[in-house]
Structure 1
């Protein structure tokens, strides 16, 4: 098979090639006797000049290909034509281009499907290295696809600049392709777009009322559904609110279960109940939010509106609304706080009864649910030893024993289960 057939450039004839420094260089020309003027379409054979065009083409076996195309300039035979001289052209290469059309098509696809940095990496892998600026420029100069009317339309907001400026993105949900971008999140913009695109059957959207009213006004026959993400958000919000409202009952059930585990531990260890030292219950401390919670409940009983309650107590209306839905204030769980205090009684028992070294105690409480660092545990255990006057004896063989500990979980985490 000849090289011209392999390259698949039917309008270009390759007359020479050489390979040097991991690069394949091809020399070609357009095998025609003349060309037509692009302005007046008059055919001419009179050559005015010759020059070389240097172009990049698709790589071959990971080796870059450089095409040197010998091009002729012709004189126009039409004396009335304003263009006196013109260059011969070929459909495989655009005017003034430095790459073949087929290579440009691949680069355009990479630029549109990825970002500038990833495009730079991919083009380097296919032996056509380009800079991030070039990839960004190719994306900006690419032709926009034709806007069509989908059967299932997805509507959501998107950020031109996060936290500053937002618009609306329209997606064909059957192909997961972006159809159009609107400059704002206002319903008026969506109404104008929907009026130009009849025939939409289903619209998936977020919880924004502006989108819902726009679709209902322009396409009342279209079925509106919440998208998968916002359905899960609705479910999560409902479960979170429910678990907050019954947090007191959940805590009572967990405490009852904890007492059963303590009784089981006493039976297994045969220790008198007087020797079981239970750590202080932090839930007995006063929550500073409790006073505000009670005040909100009192003002609600007097039929105060949420805005006035928020202004009187110096809190947000969202907080007032949240408190109004709860019967009891759920305990606050600090995500970054360590739970070492929950193991105080267990640590004292092990030091007094078993004689563990600190290292062994830390290993045991980690297996039982301790979520802090080893340094925090060392400081806490040493503090207990100083307060209780306990001296740790030599290490001896021990076995893991059950501990009545139930790790607390917030209402938000429970809603995600």
Structure 2
């Protein structure tokens, strides 16, 4: 065992104790100690040497060398001699080592609290076990809850945003200190009246950075009329993205690149039937069955006997025997009209426009009078997906609305060469999408360069354009013009990306 001097360097808070024994166990080290002092001090400040009783107190400490440390401390309980003190007896406490009713030393409690704050329950338990500290997840969480809340300092620049307790159903409001970008308060609900009530108790707020909610705008105006409102740029960009996606969706049929030969690939004319390998096998089988059925019929066998011998239904045998040649059987089989056939032209056209969802196409031809079910449409579209049968000539799959929106909303310098080339061809084909891209890039330049003075010109240009979703977004900006201009001028942002 090491000397007392070495132990005190490792565990300086053991200096007031007399170490009687050190025991090494497989998973821990146990120090058996007792207090050196002859008297204890009550919480009333009076010292006492009258020992009322003794007991063993076990304290866990931080691990050393991967082994847990347990301090078995012989504690004395004294009788307080101050007649005015409400405590009749008291147990002695060692500064830096014990606290009332605690099973952990202050050092171990601080370590576990930090682990709990960083990793919470299960993950914190695993990390603690890796360094030789066994603890339960509930204990870690209780230590986290016991951490006192920091004193709420005065906030001059306030951030306001909502969050979901349960998305789509239950929301709350988060208040952020924009100086530190740390949340410091939250409350249930996201109504403007709740925000106004909170702001009335904090007249020191000078700037409110918020999302585009009209409720928060009204609450900030009523509760803090002295404060300057700032529309958050992240939310502005998100709102613009929604308008762009709606505009692209309205031009969805134009996203596909034109076929090389429009005349040869006309979508309104039914393509010629091309027999696949599977259809050729059917033809071969019909010919073989026709030959076998006629051979047995000429031998004098009945149609029922022929059916039993060939494993075919009697109705099929009647068709085979009645047909003068195998070509008649094949022709009748290939001339059967499918229930989807009258609507193939519409399916071809929509398929090449990029609509590949069977349920959507089924609903479209239903409106045109299609009497069948969705399963038949799915089977027909399976030919298109695999290239079998009379599937239309399919070129490269057109970009999705989400892909095209992402290309328009992404900084041109950050676009991949392939995506930049696709966007360039898309802008050449569609003048409206070309103008949409131009509006978005002007707004991005205005937002990143903090050119709020250009806002009204941008709104006027967008309102005059024929892109309805973008014009609606621009008109909506006018309703919150001052806050939007401040958001595009002041270097404030709720969430850092």
Match of 1:62 in 2: 66
Superposition map of 1:99-138 within 5 A: 99-138=104-143
Q: Distance in 1 between matches of 2:181 and 2:205?
A: 16
1:414 aligns with 2:414: no
Structure 1: 5+ residue runs without aligned partners?
A: 264-273, 287-329, 338-375, 389-402
Q: Whose radius of gyration is greater, 1 or 2? A: 2
Q: CA deviation at 1:51?
A: 1.3
Q: CA deviation at 1:184?
A: 1.9
Question: Secondary structure of the residue that 1:143 maps to in structure 2?
Answer: coil
Superposition map of 1:17-416 within 5 A: 17-38=22-43, 40-92=44-96, 93-227=98-232, 229-248=234-253, 250-251=254-255, 254-256=256-258, 258-259=259-260, 282=347, 284=349, 334=357, 380=386, 383-384=388-389, 405-416=395-406
- Is the Cα contact below 8 Å between 2:18 and 2:35 reproduced in 1? no
- Is the Cα contact below 8 Å between 2:198 and 2:223 reproduced in 1? no
- Is the Cα contact below 8 Å between 2:160 and 2:211 reproduced in 1? yes
Question: Secondary structure of the residue that 2:133 maps to in structure 1?
Answer: coil
- Is the Cα contact below 8 Å between 1:148 and 1:179 reproduced in 2? no
**Structure 1 pair 285–415 and aligned structure 2 pair: CA distance change class (3 A):** closer
- Is the Cα contact below 8 Å between 1:202 and 1:222 reproduced in 2? yes
Q: Distance in 1 between matches of 2:261 and 2:154?
A: 64
CA RMSD between the two structures: 3.8
What TM-score, normalized to structure 2?
A: 0.53
- Over residues 270-317 of structure 1, what are the superposed CA-to-partner deviations in whole Å (9 max), with x where a residue is unaligned? xxxx9999x97736369xxxxxxxxxxxxxxxxxxxxxxxxxxxxxxx
Q: CA deviation at 1:175?
A: 3.1
Question: Secondary structure of the residue that 2:260 maps to in structure 1?
Answer: helix
Q: Distance in 1 between matches of 2:395 and 2:149?
A: 61
Structure 2: 5+ residue runs without aligned partners?
A: 265-271, 276-343, 361-381, 408-497
**Structure 1 pair 210–8 and aligned structure 2 pair: CA distance change class (3 A):** farther
- Is the Cα contact below 8 Å between 2:173 and 2:187 reproduced in 1? yes
Question: Secondary structure of the residue that 2:13 maps to in structure 1?
Answer: coil
- Over residues 156-205 of structure 1, what are the superposed CA-to-partner deviations in whole Å (9 max), with x where a residue is unaligned? 22233444432212223443422012122122222222223333344332
Q: CA deviation at 1:130?
A: 2.0
Bigger helix fraction: 2
Which structure's relative contact order is higher, taking Cα pairs within 8 Å and 6+ residues apart?
A: 2
Q: CA deviation at 1:237?
A: 0.8
Q: Would you identify which runs of 4 or more consecutive aligned residues in structure 1 move more than 6 Å?
A: 260-263, 274-277, 376-379
Q: CA deviation at 1:53?
A: 1.0
